[in-house]
Chain A
Amino acid sequence: MTQTTLAPEVKEGVDQQTVDAVAQLSGAYKHGWNTEIEMDFAPKGLTEDIVRLISEKNGEPEWMLDWRLEAFRRWQKLDEPDWSMLKYAPVDYQEQYYYAKPASMAVKPKSLDDVDPKLLETYKKLGIPLKEQMVLAGVEGAAASPADGASQGRKVAVDAVFDSVSVGTTFQKELAAAGVIFCSISEAIREHPELVRKYLGSVVPVSDNYFATLNSAVFSDGSFVYIPKGTRCPMELSTYFRINAENTGQFERTLIIADEQSYVSYLEGCTAPMRDTNQLHAAVVEIVALDDAEVKYSTVQNWYPGDENGKGGIYNFVTKRADCRGDRSKVSWTQVETGSALTWKYPSCILRGDDSQGEFYSIAITNNWQQADTGTKMIHLGKRTRSRIVSKGISAGHAQNTYRGLVSMHPKAKDSRNYTQCDSLLIGSTCGAHTVPYIEVRNNSSRVEHEATTSKVDDDQIFYCRSRGMDEEEAVALVVNGFCREVLQALPMEFAMEAQQLVAISLEGSVG
């Protein structure tokens, strides 16, 4: 594979390491292999029958089917949104498979030991531990040094989703002892209908947007989390999504409910094989945080980004939203977006409870012909609500990277605060970096600050460092490094390792 199509000359101030690291990211997609496994497909295309079939395969009750059908009928009347800065050929929704299940999963295995070894091998190869004695310690490092992780006593429960179905969920027993429910959403619909019915669609309604409506109709699996009142989840929870089958869309739905005074840290990872055709991924994630609850949601998105000519790759249309319903609740989104040909993703927080908090930390890296249009919405409804947005976009090759965000202070959100910082780095002269923030302030006791730069490091900070005896290089390294860490540090340990490997970009002297 040829190296990337970066501009031939490296601009002064961008060090070679950075350029190489970005190049390496796209040059060698490590998870592009394919698992040869027998699959059961639903017929191609999207009709009411397919929706019924998915519901039937999941053994769903009537109310769930009705919910899906309503979404499907609504979706048929909607137009695909065109306001993003993404340019792509129209998606033919009838050319996709909406349900693909490994044949060996026809009868759900009783335990992970019964799962098809090929599937287990797939996750092993990805570094995802589906054996409970293993722990997730950074995707690359897991297989190599499980003992290290274990000795630290860090456990991560994993729900592994392969194409349309959940393969298995680890540590369920241990979690159940703590009262935590962690299972696939299809299982939750069967086992905990009262919770699902109460919360599903309450954050992202069926009518929310084109892709969310599509997801509501055809979602096949995903994860469900319920953390009971006063419980601190004893381990980190994780879902690993793998798209394997060709021409198959993945539509997962995740629902996380954090009851009063609970805490959970949730990780999400995703990869897909290299294929010449674009594949669709349209997920919905809903989070509900009640009084004093805290949810930390971290994503390392590494879907196949397409090749260096822009062929193939995942179309990633994702709706993620958290409802901070309770007073003093807190939701933190952290994302490292390196994959996908297209990213359309705006993890958001509705800060409904008084004193609730929302955070969004993001690193988005696009290279070759990747396009990302990503950001967040912070809707301040409650009093003294606070939000913080830190977004770093790095663009190389022919890629386009857009931050799009909304900060809205409603009239009743007195004494609220928002701080937003968006920074962009361009490597090469054929890529683009864009910032599209919306700021709506409807009361005067709130303070909103937005800053965005596409520039060199702040001169004042450099001057300050230099006046303390550092040379220019060191000063730049310190300032920029400190800055990027803001996002990386927000990631839990397990992911920070993977993220650092993925980002692996020394930004020293490179904010250009």
Chain B
Amino acid sequence: MSALPKRRQDATEARLTNLRLPVSGGWTLPAREDALTRLGAMGLPQRRDEYWRFTDPAAFNAVEVAEAEPFQNDDETPLFNELKPIEITFVDGVLDPQARDDLRHEGLQVAFLSSAVETDIHWARKVFGRLEAAGQVPVPRPFATLNTAFATDGLLIRATKPVARPVAIRYVHRDSRSDAILHHVVRVDEGASLTLLETGPAAARLNTVMESDIADNATFHHVRDQGRTHLRQAVTSVFARIGRDATYKSFTMTANGVLTRNEHVVEMLGDDSVAHVAGIAIGDGRTGRFHHDDTVFVTHDALRCESRQVFKKVLKNGAVGVFQGKILVKDGAQKTDGYQISQSLLLDEDSQFLAKPELEIYADDVACSHGSTTGAIDETALYYLRSRGIPERDATDLLVLAFLAEALEEVDDPVMAEALQDRLAGWLARHAG
């Protein structure tokens, strides 16, 4: 660790004081020890790091967790209930054995990181910590590395065939000082398909990693909603490795949280694969602050792959939205179709949008584009709606929902899309004015 600048080294050492590698780590131990070594070499991020230009990582580095009162009066029915998913619940990062469905289902294997280590050989061994380590280039993602080393639990989920019912992870937040580190591993075998849902705020401070290994011809859909605890802080890292003719779609909705950093690292390694990463963030800074950061890195390393990044943000009362996105087309990844759009609607003078949408292209026969726009609500459209007798508030909400529609279209399942749309409408109703 001696090569690190002092401040970075001190911050890293301080953060590690109270963390211990699990005593009975089993087969995860080599990966965890490797992660700890790597973390020592890279150190935790600092405010002046280019990669953290728009988001201060201090809260994630802090030894003490800032207090976050759990959200109590949830008047909404649990999201995606109507899909009757197979449910697994974590309370403040700890598995709740009572609130757990029967996990036996055709084509589905589910285990837990905390107990699977008792098995000598486990399929997840080939994925755990591997995708995270591979995703450290060209910029380090130290919080994911810290997670690999110290994760207390997580789901090891494998689909060997098309799995009919979605699997849902419910994150319940009860303790105002909880600090959860969860690490999920997903493997979708050749020809298999899986839908994984994540809902809820999880903890006062949450660090999750999801490593998804998607084989040839496989399909993986991932939809998450980050819950209603306003004061919570979350840093999440999703790593996906995608095979030939495979499909990967991930969608995230964030409507609360003082601080969120969602990182996505997608590697397209097989020809003709498809990867879509999308997100909606609607934030109100009135109840403290709202800072939401989407950082996405998509690498094309195969022929004829399609990628889409669609991120929309609606911000008010001093809310801050960040988008850092990159499409990297490697030498030889011809016929790539890459698309990236980041847009934000600022509902008042105090809100901010900060973006760095990048393209890095080393192949000549590609179609890559990115767009980024920021502005206020369109006065002409508002006037038009009002002239048709729609009250200003409703008209504004309509325009906001219309603005968000392109991102919501990334959710294939109409039932899910509608459930998310209802949530957005509910949020707008609660945050009027």
Complex interface bits, A420-434 against B, C-beta within 8 A gives 1, otherwise 0 = 000010111111111
Option from A432, A437, A449, A455 in Cβ contact (under 8 Å) with B362: A432
Report how far A402 CA is from B334 CA in the complex, Å: 20
Q: Tell me if A93 is interfacial: C-beta within 8 Å of chain B.
A: no
**Complex contacts, A428 vs chain B, CB 8 Å:** 364
- Determine the residue in chain B with the shortest Cβ distance to A427: B364
Interface residues of B in 330-364 (CB under 8 A from A): 331-332, 334, 344, 346-349, 351-364
Stretch at the interface among A291-299, A375-383, A440-448: A440-448
Report how far A406 CA is from B371 CA in the complex, Å: 15
A454 touches B371 (CB 8 A): no
- Determine the residue in chain A with the shortest Cβ distance to B360: A434
Q: Tell me if A166 is interfacial: C-beta within 8 Å of chain B.
A: no
A441 touches B352 (CB 8 A): yes
- Determine the residue in chain A with the shortest Cβ distance to B356: A438
- Determine the residue in chain B with the shortest Cβ distance to A401: B361
**Complex contacts, A24 vs chain B, CB 8 Å:** none
A441 touches B353 (CB 8 A): yes
B331 touches A429 (CB 8 A): yes
Complex interface bits, A10-33 against B, C-beta within 8 A gives 1, otherwise 0 = 010000000000000000000000
**Complex contacts, A436 vs chain B, CB 8 Å:** 356, 358
Complex interface bits, A445-463 against B, C-beta within 8 A gives 1, otherwise 0 = 1111111111110000000
B373 touches A449 (CB 8 A): yes
Report how far A441 CA is from B364 CA in the complex, Å: 33
Given A446-B375, A450-B372, A512-B364: A434 and B358 interface contact (C-beta under 8 Å) = yes
A444 touches B358 (CB 8 A): no
How many residues of chain B get a CB closer than 8 Å to chain A's CBs? Answer: 35
A440 touches B358 (CB 8 A): no
A424 touches B361 (CB 8 A): yes
**Complex contacts, A492 vs chain B, CB 8 Å:** none
Given A83-B50, A444-B346: A454 and B361 interface contact (C-beta under 8 Å) = yes
A426 touches B373 (CB 8 A): no
**Complex contacts, A453 vs chain B, CB 8 Å:** 367-369
Report how far A83 CA is from B360 CA in the complex, Å: 15
**Complex contacts, A442 vs chain B, CB 8 Å:** 352
A455 touches B368 (CB 8 A): yes
Q: Tell me if A366 is interfacial: C-beta within 8 Å of chain B.
A: no
B353 touches A439 (CB 8 A): yes
Report how far A452 CA is from B341 CA in the complex, Å: 10
Q: Tell me if B374 is interfacial: C-beta within 8 Å of chain A.
A: yes
- Determine the residue in chain B with the shortest Cβ distance to A426: B364
**Complex contacts, A455 vs chain B, CB 8 Å:** 366-369
Q: Tell me if A435 is interfacial: C-beta within 8 Å of chain B.
A: yes
Q: How far is the CB of B351 from chain A (nearest CB, A)?
A: 6
Option from A411, A439, A454, A512 in Cβ contact (under 8 Å) with B359: A454
Option from A7, A414, A426, A444 in Cβ contact (under 8 Å) with B361: A426
Q: How far is the CB of A413 from chain B (nearest CB, A)?
A: 11
Report how far A447 CA is from B369 CA in the complex, Å: 20
- Determine the residue in chain B with the shortest Cβ distance to A422: B359
B373 touches A447 (CB 8 A): yes
A454 touches B366 (CB 8 A): yes
Report how far A319 CA is from B99 CA in the complex, Å: 62
Option from A433, A446, A452 in Cβ contact (under 8 Å) with B370: A452
Interface residues of A in 462-484 (CB under 8 A from B): none
A444 touches B349 (CB 8 A): yes
- Determine the residue in chain B with the shortest Cβ distance to A424: B361
Q: Tell me if B392 is interfacial: C-beta within 8 Å of chain A.
A: no
Given A429-B332, A446-B375: A456 and B360 interface contact (C-beta under 8 Å) = no
**Complex contacts, B354 vs chain A, CB 8 Å:** 439-441
**Complex contacts, A434 vs chain B, CB 8 Å:** 358-361
**Complex contacts, A433 vs chain B, CB 8 Å:** 359, 361
Report how far A442 CA is from B320 CA in the complex, Å: 9
- Determine the residue in chain A with the shortest Cβ distance to B367: A455
B356 touches A437 (CB 8 A): yes
B374 touches A431 (CB 8 A): no
Q: How far is the CB of A431 from chain B (nearest CB, A)?
A: 7
Option from A11, A411, A448, A449 in Cβ contact (under 8 Å) with B349: A411
A444 touches B332 (CB 8 A): no
Which of A435, A449, A451: most chain B Cβ within 10 A?
A: A435
Interface residues of A in 315-368 (CB under 8 A from B): none
Q: How far is the CB of A469 from chain B (nearest CB, A)?
A: 26
Q: Tell me if B13 is interfacial: C-beta within 8 Å of chain A.
A: no
Given A439-B353, A444-B349: A454 and B360 interface contact (C-beta under 8 Å) = no
28 A-B pairs within 8 Å (CB atoms) are namely: A429-B332, A431-B364, A432-B360, A435-B360, A437-B356, A437-B357, A439-B374, A440-B352, A440-B353, A440-B354, A440-B355, A441-B352, A443-B346, A443-B349, A444-B348, A445-B349, A445-B376, A446-B375, A449-B372, A450-B372, A450-B373, A451-B370, A452-B371, A454-B361, A454-B366, A454-B369, A455-B366, A512-B365
A-B residue pairs, 7 tightest by C-beta: A444-B346, A426-B364, A447-B375, A455-B367, A435-B359, A439-B355, A441-B374
